[in-house]
Chains A and B, each alone.
Chain A
Amino acid sequence: MQKLRSQNGLMGWLMVSPLAVVLLIFLVLPIIMIAVVSFWRATEFSIIPAFELENYTFLFSSPVTYTVFLNTFKYALLTWMFTCVIGFTVAYYLAFHIRTLTWQVALFLLCTIPFWTSNIIRMISWIPFLGRNGIANSTLISWGVIDEPLDWLLFSDFSVVLAFVHLYTLFMVVPIFNTMMRIDKSLIEAARDGGANGAQILWNVIIPLTKPGIMIGTIFVVTLVMGDFFTVRIMSGSQSANVGRLISNDIALLQYPSASATAIVLLLTVLLVIGILLRFVDIRKEL
């Protein structure tokens, strides 16, 4: 008996080891490497192993860092707000207003169709649409809504957030839809029997029960937006910066240590944000 138990333990270890090895090699080691390099020194041509805090002191003493981190949070917050409202509405409609499972699945698949194309193409196609002489402006002018083309439609914070919302709303729809489908319909009936109106049911029954889905979607959206650099560069016409662009600028100039330091700070920031989010909802308990 004793022998069997120890063998079980061994089997258990063996069974998790492939995953552990993969994570170790492809996740943990690279991050350790980045952390190590962030303390190195760089000249114009080479990087020199060292243990210096220069990269971090420069990062924290530069006003650019704070502007850029603030900007990154701004994009993350705005994108989260819009994707959350749109994602919740779409999921709610699919889960509670569509009656048959076939139609639910069909409409859900319909939502995913735009995601069959590259997200770079989906993003860049906004540029001719929103441009000064683009479809949006010429339509509004022909309707007589505006006299002059609206310049803020493109190469602005508006276009950046619009592109993010367009790219990432599905990441909200999927987990919210998933949790909503698990809600026992009899709970809603019970609430209605107890005299609750539609708004009360939504606020007191459905939202609390979909919190884990909202939280998973939030984690997706926040991490994707905070790690992005390409969308911000293209949609702002290179005129605003987020942390990702700071890192990519450093890499272009071969300043790998300084890029690593920024990456580590970004990683810690994102982990902190997710840590705070998880305080609100225990995802594992409610899944």
Chain B
Amino acid sequence: MTRYTKRNGLSRRTLLKTGIATAATALAAPMVWAQSNIVLRQAGTGVSAFNEIAAKAFDDLGITLEMTALDSDAVTQRVATQPNSFDIADIEYWICKKVWPTGNLQAMDTSRIANYDKIAGTFLSGKLTPESNIAQGTAPHTVGFTSGANGTDFVQEQSGWMTLIPTIYNADTLGIRPDLIGRPITNWSELLNPEFKGKASILDISSIGIMDMAMVVESMGEYTYPDKGNMTREEIDLTLAIFTEAKKNGQFRAFWKSFDESVNLMASGEVVIQSMWSPAIAAVRSQGIPCVYQPLEEGYRSWGGGMGLAAGLDGAKLDAAYEYINWYLSGWAGGFLMRQGYYSAVPETSKDFMSDDEWGFWFEGKASQGDIVSPQGTIMEGAGAVRDGGSFYDRMGAVACWNSVMDENQYMVRKWNEFVAA
């Protein structure tokens, strides 16, 4: 659990800094909250709970953010059962599908969101560009709008009332060791290719792992799902049967559950192909080991998170929350997240907060001119590097499915346990 708290007047230095920041931003920001001691409690999955963002929000707005990072199951439970324990819920869209009907979150008036029109199309219509296909699973736009201020339903059109404001998202695929494989990899089905017997891995988090499995099963030509994001019991059985057989044949070296496990498996060469997350690829590469986030023909499995407002939020705190969200979408936070390899909801505002080289590398998929440095200061790539998968439109335009919650979730989890014990 990480927690970020920065209170007013803790030290002289903080006061000085705030004073300067207040003076500097007084013209730019319509309101500064430093005098009123506004504190917003943000509970979330931790993917986007960066201390740097909280510190910058405090400097720019005078709003203190108390961030609590929980795993996705715990945050789901908290939003559903303890609505007074948070002001802002920073959750994923599939969690929103579970918790929105409880009425513990309030709809956001899109007329109060300054950059609403510039939010990526994925979150508004489901289409990144007018030609894009809508991906399967819990696509953000399907749970992104509700019927009115007090709505507990989802509507498919842009109603003016948003459930979550998108903050951070990415497209996931398989990570590979090109030096140990030595040939191009273009399909998800390669995960179960006997060539990689004993050298493959998949993540042991059922809700995400099952989606990766579905991508593989479709790619093998075994079955085409009407909706990967909402399987029937038969489809769950079929999917796990294929993987159980592969497991018994010794296809997998190990399963991983935490980020660092996936890094170690890849870096040590125990595994040459596996499901992986973007920052883990960066961690392997930073050890000087070649590792590629391989774009595949069938497309990406994507995930997205957003911020929702607690139902009980009102008055000055509600205004401050809108202020914070507008600030979040105004560019600095987006630039910070994009330098980690994620995307921001309103990419174009971030351009002013990134160098041309950074923008070219992370967003446009161009070769870097100089070193690409992470916000924490480590060098991630040298000159001449190109991002795996290319530009924002190449990557987010090729999303095949979104992380989802299925109607048969409990059945799936039980089957998953059988798979692990098999």
Size category of the binding interface on chain B: 20 to 34
- Residue A128 lies at the interface, judged by CB distance under 8 Å to chain B: yes
The majority secondary structure among interface residues of chain A is: loop
B204 is an interface residue with CB less than 8 A from chain A: yes
Binds A, one of B33-41, B72-80, B118-126, B159-167: B72-80
Contacts of B247 in A (CB 8 A): 239
Whether a CB of chain A sits under 8 angstroms from the CB of B158 is no
Q: Does A52 contact B (CB under 8 A)?
A: no
Contact B268 A132 (CB under 8 A): yes
Q: What's the Cα separation between A282 and B198 when bound, in Å?
A: 48
Q: Is the interface of B mostly helix, strand, loop or mixed?
A: helix
Chain A residue contacts of B232, Cβ below 8 A: none
Query: B270: CB under 8 A from chain A?
Result: yes
Q: Which residues of B contact A151 (CB under 8 A)?
A: 198, 253
CB atoms of B255 and A131 under 8 A apart: no
Q: B80–A45 contact, CB under 8 A?
A: yes
What CA separation (Å) do A131 and B410 show in the bound complex?
Answer: 35
Judge if B237 is at the interface, Cβ distance under 8 Å. no
Q: Which residue of B lies closest to A233 (CB)?
A: B257
Instruction: Fill in one digit per residue for B50-83: 1 if any A CB lies within 8 Å of its CB, else 0.
Output: 0000000000000000000001011011001100
Q: Does B98 make an interface contact (CB < 8 A)?
A: yes
Count of A-B contacts judged by CB separation below 8 Å: 78
Q: Interface size bucket, A side?
A: 20 to 34
Q: Which residue of B lies closest to A236 (CB)?
A: B254
CB pair B420–A239 under 8 Å, yes or no, is yes
Contact of B421 among A128, A133, A241, A254 (CB under 8 A): A241
| Contact indicator per residue, chain B 231-258, by CB within 8 Å of chain A (1) or not (0) | 0000000000000000100001111110
Closest A residue to B80 by beta carbon equals A45
Interface bits B390-422 vs A (CB < 8 Å: 1, else 0): 000000000000000000011001100110111
Residues of B within 8 A of A33 (CB): none
Are A246 and B417 in touch, CB under 8 angstroms? yes
Complex Cα spacing A155 to B265, Å: 11
Asked whether, in the complex, the Cβ of A155 is within 8 Å of the Cβ of B253, the reply is yes
**A240–B421 CB distance below 8 A:** yes
Instruction: List which B194-228 residues lie within 8 A (CB) of chain A.
Output: 198, 201, 204
**Residue of A128, A236, A237, A249 touching B417 (CB-CB under 8 A):** A249
Which has the most chain B C-beta neighbours within 10 Å: A44, A151, A246? Answer: A44
Residues of A contacting B257 with CB < 8 Å? 233, 238
Q: Which of B98, B253, B255, B420 contacts A44 (CB 8 A)?
A: B98
Tell which of B201, B254, B410, B414 touches A62, judged by Cβ atoms closer than 8 Å.
B414
Given A45-B81, A241-B417, does the pair A254, B73 have CB atoms closer than 8 Å?
A: yes
Within the complex, what minimum Cβ distance (angstroms) separates A196 from chain B?
50
Q: How far is the CA of A67 from the CA of B421 in the complex (A)?
A: 7
Q: Residues of B contacting A238 with CB < 8 Å?
A: 204, 254-257, 420
- Cβ < 8 Å to A, chain B residues 76-109: 76-77, 80-81, 98, 102
A82 to B: closest C-beta gap in Å: 23
Are A44 and B409 in touch, CB under 8 angstroms? yes
CA distance A6 to B86 in the complex (A): 59
CA A236 to CA B254, docked complex, whole Å: 7
Question: C-beta contact mask, A219-256 vs B, less than 8 Å → 1, else 0?
Answer: 00000000000000100111111000110010011100
Q: Given A237-B253, A238-B257: A252 and B417 within 8 A (CB)?
A: no
Extra inter-chain contacts (8) besides given A62-B414, A133-B270, CB under 8 Å: A45-B80, A64-B417, A131-B268, A151-B253, A154-B270, A155-B254, A238-B204, A253-B413
For this complex, 17 residue pairs linking A to B, each with C-beta atoms less than 8 Å apart, are A44-B409, A46-B80, A64-B414, A68-B421, A128-B268, A131-B270, A133-B269, A133-B270, A154-B270, A155-B253, A233-B257, A237-B265, A238-B420, A239-B255, A240-B421, A252-B73, A254-B74
Point out residues on A near B: beta carbons under 8 Å.
44-46, 62-64, 67-68, 71, 127-128, 131-134, 151, 154-155, 233, 236-241, 245-246, 249, 252-254
